[in-house]
Protein backbone atom coordinates (compact mmCIF):
# COMPACT_ATOMS: atom_id res chain seq x y z
CA UNK A 1 0.00 0.00 0.00
CA UNK A 2 2.84 2.38 0.79
CA UNK A 3 4.46 1.64 -2.58
CA UNK A 4 1.16 2.31 -4.38
CA UNK A 5 0.72 5.52 -2.45
CA UNK A 6 4.24 6.71 -3.34
CA UNK A 7 3.64 5.96 -7.02
CA UNK A 8 0.40 7.94 -6.87
CA UNK A 9 2.11 10.80 -5.04
CA UNK A 10 4.73 11.13 -7.75
CA UNK A 11 2.10 12.03 -10.37
CA UNK A 12 -0.36 14.04 -8.25
CA UNK A 13 -0.53 17.69 -9.42
CA UNK A 14 -2.67 18.85 -6.48
CA UNK A 15 -0.87 20.37 -3.51
CA UNK A 16 -3.70 19.61 -1.09
CA UNK A 17 -3.98 15.91 -1.86
CA UNK A 18 -0.18 15.57 -2.02
CA UNK A 19 0.12 16.95 1.51
CA UNK A 20 -2.71 14.68 2.66
CA UNK A 21 -1.02 11.62 1.18
CA UNK A 22 2.48 12.48 2.44
CA UNK A 23 1.14 12.67 6.00
CA UNK A 24 -0.58 9.28 5.66
CA UNK A 25 2.54 7.64 4.20
CA UNK A 26 4.76 9.02 6.95
CA UNK A 27 2.38 7.85 9.66
CA UNK A 28 2.06 4.41 8.08
CA UNK A 29 5.83 4.04 7.87
CA UNK A 30 5.98 4.81 11.58
CA UNK A 31 3.63 1.89 12.22
CA UNK A 32 0.37 3.82 12.65
CA UNK A 33 -2.36 1.19 12.10
CA UNK A 34 -5.02 3.78 11.34
CA UNK A 35 -2.85 5.38 8.68
CA UNK A 36 -2.15 2.01 7.07
CA UNK A 37 -5.88 1.24 7.11
CA UNK A 38 -6.46 4.63 5.48
CA UNK A 39 -4.04 3.76 2.68
CA UNK A 40 -5.74 0.39 2.28
CA UNK A 41 -9.11 2.12 1.89
CA UNK A 42 -7.72 4.55 -0.68
CA UNK A 43 -5.61 2.18 -2.78
CA UNK A 44 -6.92 -1.39 -2.46
CA UNK A 45 -9.57 -0.65 -5.11
CA UNK A 46 -10.40 1.87 -7.80
CA UNK A 47 -13.45 4.12 -8.02
CA UNK A 48 -15.43 2.29 -10.66
CA UNK A 49 -16.48 3.96 -13.89
CA UNK A 50 -19.97 2.83 -14.83
CA UNK A 51 -23.25 4.02 -16.28
CA UNK A 52 -23.26 6.94 -13.83
CA UNK A 53 -19.66 7.84 -14.69
CA UNK A 54 -17.64 8.44 -11.53
CA UNK A 55 -18.82 9.54 -8.12
CA UNK A 56 -17.15 9.41 -4.73
CA UNK A 57 -15.45 11.17 -1.84
CA UNK A 58 -12.80 13.79 -2.54
CA UNK A 59 -9.28 12.86 -1.50
CA UNK A 60 -6.03 11.24 -2.57
CA UNK A 61 -6.00 7.72 -3.95
CA UNK A 62 -7.47 5.52 -6.66
CA UNK A 63 -10.67 5.06 -4.62
CA UNK A 64 -11.29 8.81 -4.31
CA UNK A 65 -12.23 11.71 -6.59
CA UNK A 66 -9.09 13.74 -7.36
CA UNK A 67 -7.12 15.31 -10.20
CA UNK A 68 -5.21 12.11 -11.02
CA UNK A 69 -8.38 10.03 -11.35
CA UNK A 70 -10.12 12.77 -13.36
CA UNK A 71 -7.14 13.11 -15.72
CA UNK A 72 -7.21 9.36 -16.31
CA UNK A 73 -10.97 9.48 -16.94
CA UNK A 74 -10.66 12.40 -19.36
CA UNK A 75 -7.84 10.73 -21.30
CA UNK A 76 -9.80 7.48 -21.43
CA UNK A 77 -12.92 9.21 -22.71
CA UNK A 78 -10.83 11.07 -25.29
CA UNK A 79 -9.41 7.75 -26.46
CA UNK A 80 -12.91 6.31 -26.79
CA UNK A 81 -14.19 9.31 -28.77
CA UNK A 82 -11.18 9.30 -31.11
CA UNK A 83 -11.50 5.56 -31.66
CA UNK A 84 -15.16 5.89 -32.61
CA UNK A 85 -14.38 8.82 -34.91
CA UNK A 86 -11.82 6.79 -36.90
CA UNK A 87 -14.66 4.89 -38.52
CA UNK A 88 -16.27 8.06 -39.90
CA UNK A 89 -15.30 11.00 -42.07
CA UNK A 90 -16.76 13.47 -39.59
CA UNK A 91 -15.11 16.70 -38.56
CA UNK A 92 -13.02 16.89 -35.40
CA UNK A 93 -15.23 15.53 -32.60
CA UNK A 94 -16.52 17.99 -30.04
CA UNK A 95 -16.53 17.33 -26.29
CA UNK A 96 -18.28 19.88 -24.09
CA UNK A 97 -17.55 20.21 -20.35
CA UNK A 98 -19.68 21.74 -17.59
CA UNK A 99 -19.27 22.06 -13.84
CA UNK A 100 -21.26 23.01 -10.74
CA UNK A 101 -20.36 24.74 -7.48
CA UNK A 102 -18.90 21.81 -5.56
CA UNK A 103 -15.35 21.82 -4.29
CA UNK A 104 -12.88 21.22 -7.15
CA UNK A 105 -15.58 21.06 -9.83
CA UNK A 106 -13.99 23.92 -11.75
CA UNK A 107 -10.50 22.38 -11.40
CA UNK A 108 -11.65 18.98 -12.66
CA UNK A 109 -13.46 20.66 -15.57
CA UNK A 110 -10.41 22.66 -16.69
CA UNK A 111 -8.15 19.61 -16.39
CA UNK A 112 -10.58 17.69 -18.59
CA UNK A 113 -10.80 20.44 -21.21
CA UNK A 114 -6.98 20.63 -21.43
CA UNK A 115 -6.68 16.86 -21.87
CA UNK A 116 -9.47 16.70 -24.46
CA UNK A 117 -7.80 19.49 -26.42
CA UNK A 118 -4.42 17.79 -26.05
CA UNK A 119 -5.93 14.61 -27.51
CA UNK A 120 -6.89 16.51 -30.68
CA UNK A 121 -10.55 16.99 -29.86
CA UNK A 122 -12.45 20.25 -30.08
CA UNK A 123 -12.98 20.91 -26.36
CA UNK A 124 -15.57 23.45 -25.24
CA UNK A 125 -15.81 24.52 -21.60
CA UNK A 126 -19.07 26.11 -20.46
CA UNK A 127 -18.55 29.75 -19.46
CA UNK A 128 -19.13 29.37 -15.71
CA UNK A 129 -20.69 27.08 -13.15
CA UNK A 130 -24.12 26.04 -14.43
CA UNK A 131 -26.84 23.44 -13.81
CA UNK A 132 -26.43 19.91 -15.14
CA UNK A 133 -29.38 20.34 -17.56
CA UNK A 134 -27.50 23.14 -19.34
CA UNK A 135 -24.62 20.74 -20.02
CA UNK A 136 -27.07 18.09 -21.27
CA UNK A 137 -28.59 20.76 -23.54
CA UNK A 138 -25.14 21.86 -24.72
CA UNK A 139 -24.24 18.38 -25.96
CA UNK A 140 -27.01 18.64 -28.55
CA UNK A 141 -26.54 22.39 -29.08
CA UNK A 142 -22.93 21.89 -30.22
CA UNK A 143 -23.53 18.56 -31.97
CA UNK A 144 -20.98 17.11 -29.57
CA UNK A 145 -19.72 13.55 -29.62
CA UNK A 146 -19.67 13.57 -25.82
CA UNK A 147 -20.24 15.76 -22.81
CA UNK A 148 -18.96 15.75 -19.24
CA UNK A 149 -20.63 17.31 -16.21
CA UNK A 150 -18.53 17.60 -13.07
CA UNK A 151 -21.04 17.20 -10.25
CA UNK A 152 -22.09 14.88 -7.46
CA UNK A 153 -25.67 16.15 -7.67
CA UNK A 154 -27.24 15.84 -4.20
CA UNK A 155 -24.49 13.72 -2.58
CA UNK A 156 -22.81 14.75 0.70
CA UNK A 157 -20.58 17.86 0.64
CA UNK A 158 -17.27 15.96 0.46
CA UNK A 159 -18.23 14.11 -2.72
CA UNK A 160 -17.79 14.96 -6.37
CA UNK A 161 -18.45 13.15 -9.62
CA UNK A 162 -17.99 12.91 -13.36
CA UNK A 163 -21.14 12.32 -15.43
CA UNK A 164 -20.75 11.41 -19.11
CA UNK A 165 -23.18 11.97 -21.99
CA UNK A 166 -22.96 10.86 -25.61
CA UNK A 167 -24.15 12.66 -28.71
CA UNK A 168 -24.91 11.31 -32.17
CA UNK A 169 -27.38 8.45 -32.10
CA UNK A 170 -27.51 8.74 -28.29
CA UNK A 171 -28.98 12.27 -28.66
CA UNK A 172 -27.32 13.65 -25.54
CA UNK A 173 -28.37 10.89 -23.15
CA UNK A 174 -26.19 9.47 -20.40
CA UNK A 175 -24.03 6.50 -21.27
CA UNK A 176 -25.30 2.93 -21.14
CA UNK A 177 -23.76 -0.44 -21.95
CA UNK A 178 -21.64 -1.22 -23.88
CA UNK A 179 -20.24 2.33 -24.02
CA UNK A 180 -19.62 2.40 -20.26
CA UNK A 181 -17.42 -0.71 -20.35
CA UNK A 182 -15.59 0.47 -23.47
CA UNK A 183 -14.81 3.84 -21.88
CA UNK A 184 -13.77 2.12 -18.64
CA UNK A 185 -11.32 -0.06 -20.60
CA UNK A 186 -9.73 3.04 -22.15
CA UNK A 187 -9.47 4.64 -18.70
CA UNK A 188 -7.80 1.52 -17.28
CA UNK A 189 -5.20 1.54 -20.06
CA UNK A 190 -4.36 5.14 -19.17
CA UNK A 191 -4.11 4.26 -15.48
CA UNK A 192 -1.91 1.24 -16.21
CA UNK A 193 0.45 3.42 -18.26
CA UNK A 194 1.32 5.37 -15.11
CA UNK A 195 2.26 9.03 -14.86
CA UNK A 196 -0.52 11.41 -15.93
CA UNK A 197 2.08 14.15 -16.48
CA UNK A 198 2.92 12.33 -19.73
CA UNK A 199 -0.60 12.94 -21.05
CA UNK A 200 -0.66 15.63 -23.76
CA UNK A 201 -2.46 18.79 -22.68
CA UNK A 202 -3.41 21.95 -24.48
CA UNK A 203 -4.75 25.34 -23.49
CA UNK A 204 -6.41 25.48 -26.90
CA UNK A 205 -9.86 24.65 -25.59
CA UNK A 206 -12.73 27.07 -26.19
CA UNK A 207 -14.87 28.89 -23.67
CA UNK A 208 -18.47 28.70 -24.81
CA UNK A 209 -20.25 31.97 -25.37
CA UNK A 210 -23.33 32.93 -23.41
CA UNK A 211 -25.40 32.00 -26.45
CA UNK A 212 -25.68 28.39 -25.29
CA UNK A 213 -27.10 29.54 -21.94
CA UNK A 214 -29.43 32.03 -23.65
CA UNK A 215 -30.74 29.31 -25.94
CA UNK A 216 -31.36 26.96 -23.03
CA UNK A 217 -33.23 29.74 -21.21
CA UNK A 218 -35.41 30.50 -24.25
CA UNK A 219 -36.21 26.83 -24.86
CA UNK A 220 -37.07 26.20 -21.21
CA UNK A 221 -39.19 29.33 -20.85
CA UNK A 222 -41.29 28.08 -23.77
CA UNK A 223 -42.19 24.89 -21.85
CA UNK A 224 -44.94 26.76 -19.98
CA UNK A 225 -45.31 30.51 -20.59
CA UNK A 226 -47.16 32.09 -17.69
CA UNK A 227 -50.96 32.09 -18.09
CA UNK A 228 -53.17 34.87 -16.75
CA UNK A 229 -53.48 33.15 -13.39
CA UNK A 230 -49.80 33.72 -12.63
CA UNK A 231 -50.28 37.24 -11.30
CA UNK A 232 -50.19 37.33 -7.52
CA UNK A 233 -48.81 33.80 -7.03
CA UNK A 234 -46.90 33.67 -3.74
CA UNK A 235 -44.26 30.96 -3.69
CA UNK A 236 -40.94 30.12 -2.05
CA UNK A 237 -37.82 28.85 -3.80
CA UNK A 238 -34.60 27.28 -2.55
CA UNK A 239 -31.56 26.32 -4.62
CA UNK A 240 -30.19 24.15 -1.77
CA UNK A 241 -26.81 25.97 -1.98
CA UNK A 242 -26.58 24.91 -5.62
CA UNK A 243 -26.28 26.47 -9.05
CA UNK A 244 -29.95 26.59 -10.08
CA UNK A 245 -31.02 30.10 -9.13
CA UNK A 246 -29.12 32.30 -11.61
CA UNK A 247 -30.41 30.33 -14.61
CA UNK A 248 -33.87 29.68 -13.18
CA UNK A 249 -34.43 33.35 -12.32
CA UNK A 250 -33.77 34.38 -15.92
CA UNK A 251 -36.21 31.74 -17.17
CA UNK A 252 -38.89 32.99 -14.78
CA UNK A 253 -38.50 36.49 -16.23
CA UNK A 254 -38.63 35.19 -19.79
CA UNK A 255 -41.71 33.04 -19.09
CA UNK A 256 -43.52 35.82 -17.21
CA UNK A 257 -43.84 34.30 -13.72
CA UNK A 258 -43.70 36.40 -10.54
CA UNK A 259 -40.44 36.19 -8.65
CA UNK A 260 -40.41 33.80 -5.71
CA UNK A 261 -39.75 34.53 -2.08
CA UNK A 262 -36.19 33.19 -1.83
CA UNK A 263 -34.58 31.18 0.93
CA UNK A 264 -31.70 33.64 0.96
CA UNK A 265 -29.36 31.50 3.06
CA UNK A 266 -29.50 28.73 0.42
CA UNK A 267 -29.77 30.78 -2.77
CA UNK A 268 -26.12 31.11 -3.87
CA UNK A 269 -23.70 28.27 -4.67
CA UNK A 270 -21.73 27.04 -1.67
CA UNK A 271 -19.96 23.70 -1.87
CA UNK A 272 -19.84 23.46 1.93
CA UNK A 273 -23.68 23.32 2.10
CA UNK A 274 -23.63 25.02 5.51
CA UNK A 275 -27.36 24.90 6.34
CA UNK A 276 -28.08 21.25 5.50
CA UNK A 277 -26.50 18.00 6.67
CA UNK A 278 -27.34 16.34 3.35
CA UNK A 279 -28.16 18.60 0.34
CA UNK A 280 -30.98 16.45 -0.97
CA UNK A 281 -34.56 17.79 -0.80
CA UNK A 282 -35.77 14.22 -0.15
CA UNK A 283 -33.85 14.05 3.13
CA UNK A 284 -35.57 14.93 6.43
CA UNK A 285 -34.79 18.50 7.45
CA UNK A 286 -33.35 19.61 4.10
CA UNK A 287 -36.36 21.83 3.33
CA UNK A 288 -36.93 23.14 6.87
CA UNK A 289 -35.70 26.66 6.02
CA UNK A 290 -38.00 26.74 2.99
CA UNK A 291 -40.99 25.69 5.09
CA UNK A 292 -40.14 28.33 7.70
CA UNK A 293 -39.97 31.00 5.00
CA UNK A 294 -43.26 29.79 3.49
CA UNK A 295 -45.05 29.95 6.86
CA UNK A 296 -43.80 33.49 7.44
CA UNK A 297 -44.95 34.60 3.98
CA UNK A 298 -48.21 32.66 3.85
CA UNK A 299 -47.04 31.17 0.55
CA UNK A 300 -49.10 28.86 -1.65
CA UNK A 301 -46.24 26.68 -2.81
CA UNK A 302 -42.61 25.72 -2.18
CA UNK A 303 -40.29 24.71 -5.00
CA UNK A 304 -36.77 23.36 -4.47
CA UNK A 305 -33.98 22.24 -6.75
CA UNK A 306 -31.13 20.02 -5.67
CA UNK A 307 -27.56 21.43 -5.92
CA UNK A 308 -27.07 20.78 -9.65
CA UNK A 309 -30.74 21.55 -10.42
CA UNK A 310 -31.57 18.30 -12.19
CA UNK A 311 -34.20 17.36 -9.58
CA UNK A 312 -37.37 19.11 -8.41
CA UNK A 313 -39.14 19.01 -5.05
CA UNK A 314 -42.55 20.57 -4.42
CA UNK A 315 -44.40 21.18 -1.14
CA UNK A 316 -47.89 22.45 -0.36
CA UNK A 317 -49.66 23.73 2.77
CA UNK A 318 -51.12 20.94 4.90
CA UNK A 319 -52.77 21.70 8.23
CA UNK A 320 -52.38 18.07 9.32
CA UNK A 321 -48.59 18.16 8.94
CA UNK A 322 -46.49 18.92 12.01
CA UNK A 323 -44.91 22.04 10.48
CA UNK A 324 -47.89 22.91 8.28
CA UNK A 325 -46.25 21.82 5.02
CA UNK A 326 -46.21 18.58 3.08
CA UNK A 327 -43.63 17.64 0.46
CA UNK A 328 -45.23 15.85 -2.43
CA UNK A 329 -43.74 12.51 -3.36
CA UNK A 330 -41.84 12.08 -6.59
CA UNK A 331 -44.68 9.90 -7.83
CA UNK A 332 -47.29 12.57 -7.14
CA UNK A 333 -45.30 15.22 -8.99
CA UNK A 334 -44.54 12.83 -11.84
CA UNK A 335 -48.17 11.87 -12.30
CA UNK A 336 -49.32 15.49 -12.38
CA UNK A 337 -46.63 16.48 -14.87
CA UNK A 338 -47.33 13.36 -16.93
CA UNK A 339 -51.03 14.24 -17.01
CA UNK A 340 -50.13 17.73 -18.22
CA UNK A 341 -47.82 16.39 -20.94
CA UNK A 342 -50.39 13.83 -22.16
CA UNK A 343 -53.13 16.44 -22.34
CA UNK A 344 -50.95 18.90 -24.27
CA UNK A 345 -49.65 16.38 -26.80
CA UNK A 346 -53.16 15.02 -27.35
CA UNK A 347 -54.58 18.49 -27.90
CA UNK A 348 -51.81 19.16 -30.43
CA UNK A 349 -52.48 15.87 -32.22
CA UNK A 350 -50.19 13.20 -30.82
CA UNK A 351 -47.80 11.76 -33.40
CA UNK A 352 -47.76 8.00 -33.97
CA UNK A 353 -45.80 6.29 -31.19
CA UNK A 354 -45.85 9.24 -28.76
CA UNK A 355 -45.25 7.84 -25.31
CA UNK A 356 -44.99 8.39 -21.59
CA UNK A 357 -42.23 6.56 -19.73
CA UNK A 358 -41.11 5.96 -16.17
CA UNK A 359 -38.76 3.68 -14.30
CA UNK A 360 -40.22 0.34 -13.29
CA UNK A 361 -40.13 1.36 -9.60
CA UNK A 362 -42.21 4.49 -10.25
CA UNK A 363 -46.00 4.70 -9.98
CA UNK A 364 -48.03 2.58 -12.42
CA UNK A 365 -50.46 5.49 -12.48
CA UNK A 366 -48.55 6.90 -15.47
CA UNK A 367 -49.63 3.92 -17.57
CA UNK A 368 -53.27 4.75 -16.75
CA UNK A 369 -52.66 8.32 -17.96
CA UNK A 370 -51.10 7.06 -21.19
CA UNK A 371 -54.00 4.66 -21.83
CA UNK A 372 -56.56 7.39 -21.12
CA UNK A 373 -55.05 9.58 -23.85
CA UNK A 374 -54.25 6.77 -26.29
CA UNK A 375 -50.47 7.13 -25.90
CA UNK A 376 -47.86 4.42 -25.72
CA UNK A 377 -46.28 3.61 -22.36
CA UNK A 378 -42.81 2.31 -21.51
CA UNK A 379 -41.47 1.01 -18.21
CA UNK A 380 -37.66 1.08 -18.03
CA UNK A 381 -34.86 0.18 -15.68
CA UNK A 382 -34.08 2.88 -13.10
CA UNK A 383 -32.14 5.90 -14.27
CA UNK A 384 -32.66 8.52 -16.96
CA UNK A 385 -30.07 6.85 -19.15
CA UNK A 386 -32.90 4.35 -19.78
CA UNK A 387 -35.96 6.59 -19.48
CA UNK A 388 -34.58 9.08 -22.01
CA UNK A 389 -34.22 6.29 -24.57
CA UNK A 390 -37.90 5.27 -24.49
CA UNK A 391 -39.27 5.32 -28.07
CA UNK A 392 -41.41 8.35 -28.86
CA UNK A 393 -40.98 9.86 -25.40
CA UNK A 394 -42.84 13.10 -24.68
CA UNK A 395 -42.51 12.84 -20.90
CA UNK A 396 -40.65 10.65 -18.43
CA UNK A 397 -40.07 10.48 -14.71
CA UNK A 398 -38.71 8.47 -11.82
CA UNK A 399 -39.90 8.55 -8.23
CA UNK A 400 -36.59 9.99 -6.97
CA UNK A 401 -37.68 13.54 -7.96
CA UNK A 402 -36.47 13.32 -11.56
CA UNK A 403 -38.58 14.57 -14.50
CA UNK A 404 -37.98 14.87 -18.25
CA UNK A 405 -40.55 17.33 -19.57
CA UNK A 406 -38.86 18.66 -22.71
CA UNK A 407 -37.12 15.76 -24.50
CA UNK A 408 -36.49 17.78 -27.65
CA UNK A 409 -34.31 20.09 -25.57
CA UNK A 410 -32.75 17.96 -22.80
CA UNK A 411 -32.52 14.16 -22.85
CA UNK A 412 -32.09 13.90 -19.11
CA UNK A 413 -33.91 14.84 -15.97
CA UNK A 414 -34.19 18.61 -15.64
CA UNK A 415 -35.35 20.22 -12.40
CA UNK A 416 -35.62 23.67 -13.96
CA UNK A 417 -37.87 22.84 -16.90
CA UNK A 418 -39.91 20.66 -14.52
CA UNK A 419 -40.28 23.63 -12.18
CA UNK A 420 -41.55 25.79 -15.05
CA UNK A 421 -44.03 23.07 -16.03
CA UNK A 422 -45.20 22.82 -12.41
CA UNK A 423 -45.66 26.59 -12.19
CA UNK A 424 -47.73 26.36 -15.36
CA UNK A 425 -49.95 23.71 -13.74
CA UNK A 426 -50.33 25.70 -10.54
CA UNK A 427 -51.19 28.98 -12.23
CA UNK A 428 -53.67 27.33 -14.62
CA UNK A 429 -55.37 25.79 -11.57
CA UNK A 430 -55.43 29.18 -9.84
CA UNK A 431 -57.30 30.51 -12.84
CA UNK A 432 -60.00 27.91 -12.06
CA UNK A 433 -59.95 28.76 -8.36
CA UNK A 434 -58.07 25.57 -7.46
CA UNK A 435 -54.90 24.80 -5.52
CA UNK A 436 -52.33 22.09 -6.25
CA UNK A 437 -53.99 19.82 -3.67
CA UNK A 438 -57.19 20.03 -5.70
CA UNK A 439 -55.33 18.79 -8.78
CA UNK A 440 -54.25 15.71 -6.86
CA UNK A 441 -57.90 15.03 -6.08
CA UNK A 442 -58.86 15.58 -9.73
CA UNK A 443 -56.18 13.10 -10.76
CA UNK A 444 -57.60 10.43 -8.43
CA UNK A 445 -61.09 11.02 -9.76
CA UNK A 446 -59.94 10.81 -13.37
CA UNK A 447 -57.38 8.00 -13.36
CA UNK A 448 -57.80 6.18 -10.04
CA UNK A 449 -56.27 6.59 -6.60
CA UNK A 450 -52.66 5.37 -6.59
CA UNK A 451 -50.50 5.20 -3.47
CA UNK A 452 -46.85 4.28 -3.11
CA UNK A 453 -44.43 3.59 -0.29
CA UNK A 454 -40.80 2.57 0.00
CA UNK A 455 -38.92 0.43 2.51
CA UNK A 456 -35.14 0.76 2.73
CA UNK A 457 -33.12 -1.81 4.63
CA UNK A 458 -29.60 -0.59 5.39
CA UNK A 459 -27.00 -3.31 5.97
CA UNK A 460 -23.52 -3.33 7.49
CA UNK A 461 -22.42 -6.22 5.30
CA UNK A 462 -23.39 -5.84 1.62
CA UNK A 463 -23.37 -9.64 1.27
CA UNK A 464 -26.62 -9.60 3.26
CA UNK A 465 -28.33 -7.98 0.27
CA UNK A 466 -27.23 -10.77 -2.07
CA UNK A 467 -28.33 -13.34 0.53
CA UNK A 468 -31.83 -11.84 0.80
CA UNK A 469 -32.22 -11.60 -2.98
CA UNK A 470 -31.05 -15.23 -3.32
CA UNK A 471 -33.55 -16.36 -0.68
CA UNK A 472 -36.41 -14.62 -2.47
CA UNK A 473 -35.38 -16.22 -5.76
CA UNK A 474 -34.98 -19.67 -4.24
CA UNK A 475 -38.51 -19.60 -2.85
CA UNK A 476 -40.90 -16.99 -4.12
CA UNK A 477 -43.23 -15.76 -1.36
CA UNK A 478 -46.76 -17.10 -1.71
CA UNK A 479 -48.28 -14.04 -0.05
CA UNK A 480 -47.40 -10.65 1.38
CA UNK A 481 -49.51 -10.05 4.44
CA UNK A 482 -52.98 -11.37 3.69
CA UNK A 483 -52.72 -10.95 -0.09
CA UNK A 484 -51.56 -13.79 -2.33
CA UNK A 485 -48.73 -13.35 -4.83
CA UNK A 486 -50.02 -14.03 -8.35
CA UNK A 487 -46.70 -14.08 -10.21
CA UNK A 488 -43.06 -13.04 -9.88
CA UNK A 489 -40.93 -11.44 -12.61
CA UNK A 490 -37.17 -11.97 -12.22
CA UNK A 491 -35.44 -9.37 -14.35
CA UNK A 492 -32.20 -11.36 -14.32
CA UNK A 493 -34.02 -13.70 -16.70
CA UNK A 494 -35.14 -10.88 -19.00
CA UNK A 495 -38.68 -9.51 -18.82
CA UNK A 496 -40.67 -7.22 -21.15
CA UNK A 497 -37.64 -6.46 -23.33
CA UNK A 498 -35.91 -4.87 -20.32
CA UNK A 499 -32.14 -5.29 -20.00
CA UNK A 500 -31.25 -7.86 -17.31
CA UNK A 501 -31.14 -6.45 -13.78
CA UNK A 502 -31.01 -7.59 -10.17
CA UNK A 503 -34.70 -6.88 -9.65
CA UNK A 504 -37.69 -8.95 -8.52
CA UNK A 505 -41.20 -7.73 -9.32
CA UNK A 506 -44.06 -9.35 -7.39
CA UNK A 507 -47.64 -8.98 -8.61
CA UNK A 508 -50.40 -9.58 -6.04
CA UNK A 509 -53.89 -10.85 -6.69
CA UNK A 510 -55.47 -7.51 -5.69
CA UNK A 511 -53.44 -5.64 -8.33
CA UNK A 512 -50.80 -4.40 -5.89
CA UNK A 513 -47.11 -4.56 -6.77
CA UNK A 514 -43.89 -4.99 -4.80
CA UNK A 515 -40.48 -4.47 -6.41
CA UNK A 516 -37.29 -5.54 -4.63
CA UNK A 517 -33.83 -4.44 -5.72
CA UNK A 518 -30.45 -3.47 -4.25
CA UNK A 519 -29.68 0.25 -4.15
CA UNK A 520 -27.27 1.32 -6.84
CA UNK A 521 -25.51 3.88 -4.65
CA UNK A 522 -25.80 2.79 -1.00
CA UNK A 523 -25.59 -0.43 1.09
CA UNK A 524 -29.36 -0.78 1.08
CA UNK A 525 -32.05 -3.17 -0.09
CA UNK A 526 -35.05 -1.27 -1.41
CA UNK A 527 -38.68 -2.34 -1.68
CA UNK A 528 -41.12 -0.26 -3.72
CA UNK A 529 -44.81 -0.71 -2.95
CA UNK A 530 -47.66 0.39 -5.22
CA UNK A 531 -51.43 -0.01 -4.85
CA UNK A 532 -54.56 1.31 -6.49
CA UNK A 533 -57.57 2.01 -4.31
CA UNK A 534 -61.18 3.12 -4.62
CA UNK A 535 -60.26 6.45 -3.04
CA UNK A 536 -57.20 8.22 -1.71
CA UNK A 537 -58.03 7.04 1.81
CA UNK A 538 -58.52 3.47 0.64
CA UNK A 539 -55.23 3.48 -1.28
CA UNK A 540 -53.38 4.91 1.72
CA UNK A 541 -54.78 2.20 3.99
CA UNK A 542 -53.93 -0.55 1.51
CA UNK A 543 -50.35 0.59 0.99
CA UNK A 544 -49.89 0.73 4.78
CA UNK A 545 -51.10 -2.87 5.07
CA UNK A 546 -48.82 -3.91 2.21
CA UNK A 547 -45.84 -2.28 3.94
CA UNK A 548 -46.57 -4.18 7.14
CA UNK A 549 -46.71 -7.45 5.20
CA UNK A 550 -43.45 -6.67 3.40
CA UNK A 551 -41.68 -6.01 6.70
CA UNK A 552 -42.97 -9.33 8.06
CA UNK A 553 -41.55 -11.08 4.99
CA UNK A 554 -38.13 -9.50 5.51
CA UNK A 555 -38.20 -10.50 9.19
CA UNK A 556 -38.89 -14.10 8.19
CA UNK A 557 -35.90 -14.15 5.84
CA UNK A 558 -33.74 -12.61 8.59
User: Which residues are marked as active site?
Assistant: 153
Taking each helix axis from N to C terminus, what angle separates 365-372 and 330-347, rounded to the nearest 10 degrees?
A: 10
In DSSP notation, 350-402 reads PPTT-EEEEETTS-THHHHHHHHTT-EEEEE-SSHHHHTTSTTEEEEEETTTE
Residue 382, phi then psi, degrees to nearest 5: -65, 145
- 3-state class (DSSP) for residue 330: helix
Would you say the C-alpha torsion 345, 346, 352, 355 has a positive or negative sign?
A: positive
Q: By the 8 A CB rule, do 338 and 397 touch?
A: yes
Rounded CA separation 103/287 (Å): 22
Distance in angstroms (rounded) separating the CA atoms of residues 138 and 136: 5
CB atoms within 10 A of CB 73: 28
Q: Greatest CA span in the chain, whole angstroms?
A: 74
Map residue 439 onto helix, strand or coil: helix
Distance CA 68, CA 515 (A): 39
* Residue 519 and residue 509 in contact, taking contact as beta carbons nearer than 8 Å: no
Q: Which residues of 123-150 are buried (b: 16+ CB within 10 A; e: fewer)?
A: bbbbeebbbbbbbbbbbbbbebbbbbbb
Helix orientation angle between 415-431 and 244-255, rounded to the nearest 10 degrees: 40
Amino acid sequence: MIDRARAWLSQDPDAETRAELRALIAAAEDGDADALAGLEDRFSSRLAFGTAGLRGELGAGSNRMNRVLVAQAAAGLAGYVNEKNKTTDAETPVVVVGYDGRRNSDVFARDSAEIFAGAGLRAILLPRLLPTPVLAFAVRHFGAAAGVMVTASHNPPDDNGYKVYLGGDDEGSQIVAPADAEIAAHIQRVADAGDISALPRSLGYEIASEIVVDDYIAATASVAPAPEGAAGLSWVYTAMHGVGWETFSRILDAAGYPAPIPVTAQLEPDGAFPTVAFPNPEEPGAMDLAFERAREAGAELVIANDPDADRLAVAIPDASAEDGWRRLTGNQIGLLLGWRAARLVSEAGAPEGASLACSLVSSPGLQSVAEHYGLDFHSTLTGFKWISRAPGIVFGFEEALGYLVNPETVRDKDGISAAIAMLGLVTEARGRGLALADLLTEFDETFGAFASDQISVRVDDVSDIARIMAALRAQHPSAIGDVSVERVDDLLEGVDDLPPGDVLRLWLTDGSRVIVRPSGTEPKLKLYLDVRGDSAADAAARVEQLAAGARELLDQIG
